[in-house]
Amino acid sequence: MLAVLSSSDTKMSTDSTVHGSGAKINDYDTSANNVNPEVVANENSNNDDNDTTRNIDTYEGFFRTAFVKDFHPVWTAAYMSTGIAACVLFGFPYEATWLRICGLIMWGISLILFLAVNWLFIHKALVYKTWLKTVLTEPSLNVFLAPYSMGFSTTVNMIHLVTVHYKHDFAIGTMVFWWINALLAVLISWTVIFILFSYKDIEYKGLNPTIVLSCLPLTVCSSSGALITSTLPNKNLQLTTMVISFLLWSNSVWIGSLFTGIVFWKLLTSGLPPKMLTLTSFIPIGLLCHGAWSILLNGSNIENYLISYTDIPDKEVVGKTLQLITLAIALFFIAFGFFFTFFAFASWIKVGHITLNKSYWAAPFPLGALTLALNEFFKSSGITVFRDIASIYGALAVVLTILCIFITLFFEFPHDQIRSRYSRKKQSDIV
């Protein structure tokens, strides 16, 4: 699936390669998840008689040619990754005013990307009539709708963090945004997973870590709901949010565990992914560590709820016991996240330099998720080493996000088209 991201990478053979008798077969599809050739054609084909891309000298035609025509849903990952980088900076394990300011700046960038992605998505759907249907029905494309909901969750998180820090009462408004995102997360995840199951052309070689992406909106939305629960004004809202958050968490963790098992099976039978799919190895970290963050927050919420609103005997002991259970569950996920961190970077080192392109946006979000999980584990357990490790992961996530912004501005932005149009306009003015 993520092969679509790396159009600028060197083309790699999709043929199975045997490395000797009894060796693994490197059987990965690097051609957009083995979808029909018509998919690529349909995505960028123009079936609108009123299309103005043929006249690029007009502003509308230039805009469609330079920005709209080649727009890909993967750009939702940019909105998502800058959003979690903002959360990491604003709530950094070692707090500082300048870090919070940087977090607000990064959030501003995330919101700009949110508006840009929505504008380009809607514009392309209106201009290219068959494109929207293709995006919604093709597994190689619709999986990139998942980061949209995940990015929305980071926006909800930032609204919560900012309003709480600056002591503004916006709990109900934040809850409304979260409910909207909860419905969006369920709709996207369940629909994408159903299409994955019903799509008949997905073959063995088309399986790679991006299948985990389909259930991630549920986990991320779950952690977002758990984050805002403590600020809700009454026990009914708190209890409802905790229950829904746990349902989302359970659904995502169960499905994600099955998909992660498929990823391991593919690694055992086919070896490491090819170079252009290497960065997809970061994706499972997002599932595991948002799952850890969510269960940690829910553990704290349950303890506070029992102490504040119930009369059961020894409620403090019961609450603390439940929180200790959630600590153990979270540590299980965090440990797995450490392994996938090693695996992803080891794979990256093994394949060497990866051409700078938009596929790099796959890396920052999972590392940011592990930062949030580690920092919350420190807050719940008091073990300071987790705060130190969280700081390392947080710095790495922010640096990679800045790198991705740099890549986007200097390698993905249509500089050539802009210069070409400026040159033509200058020549026409001279004439």
Tell me how far apart the alpha carbons of residues 358 and 71 are, in angstroms, rounded to a whole number.
12
Would you state the pLDDT for residue 208?
A: 80
Q: What is the dihedral of CA 18, 24, 26, 29, to 10 degrees?
A: 120
Residue with more model confidence, 4 or 360: 360
Q: Which residue's entry shows tokens 């408004």?
A: 173
pLDDT at 71: 85
d(CA 411, CA 117): 18
Give residue-wise pLDDT tens across range 58-106.
Answer: 656 666 766 788 888 888 999 999 999 999 999 999 999 999 999 999 9
Please provide the DSSP assignment of 227-261 as one string. HHGGGSSSHHHHHHHHHHHHHHHHHHHHHHHHHHH
Closest CA to 61 of 48, 51, 47: 51
Please give the backbone phi and psi of residue 256, each rounded to the nearest 5 degrees, phi first: -65, -35
Query: What is the rounded average pLDDT of the residues 334-356?
Result: 93
**pTM (2 decimals)?**
0.85
Cβ pair 208, 263 in contact under 8 A? yes
- For residue 256, give the nearest of 283, 235, 296 by alpha carbon: 283
Tens of pLDDT, residue by residue over 296-338, are 999 999 999 999 998 888 899 999 999 999 999 999 999 999 9
Amino acid identity, residue 155?
A: T
Higher pLDDT, 5 or 359: 359
pLDDT for the residue numbered 374: 97
Residue 203 tokens, joined: 């073959």
Which pLDDT value is given to residue 7?
Answer: 41
Model confidence at 11: pLDDT above 50: no
Mean pLDDT of the chain: 84
The tokens for 85 are 């980088």
Helix (H, G, I), strand (E, B) or coil at 18: strand
What would the mean pLDDT of 35-39 be, rounded to a whole number?
40
| Residue owning tokens 């998919």 | 39
Residues 44, 47, 50, 52, Cα dihedral to 10°: 20
Residues in the chain, total: 431
The Cβ of residue 419 has, within 10 Å, a number of other Cβ atoms equal to: 10
Structure tokens at 76: 């939702």
Q: List CB contacts of 230: < 8 A, sequence separation 6 or more.
A: 238, 300, 301, 304
Whole-number Cα distances in Å, 386 to 29, 210, 370, 394: 38, 28, 11, 12
* Residue ranges of domains in the chain, CATH in brackets: 2-10+32-426 (1.50.10.150)
Q: Which residue has the tokens 């419905």?
A: 183
The answer, yes or no, to whether residue 394 has pLDDT greater than 80, is yes
* Residues 375, 387 contacting (CB under 8 angstroms): yes
Q: What pLDDT is recorded for position 239?
A: 96
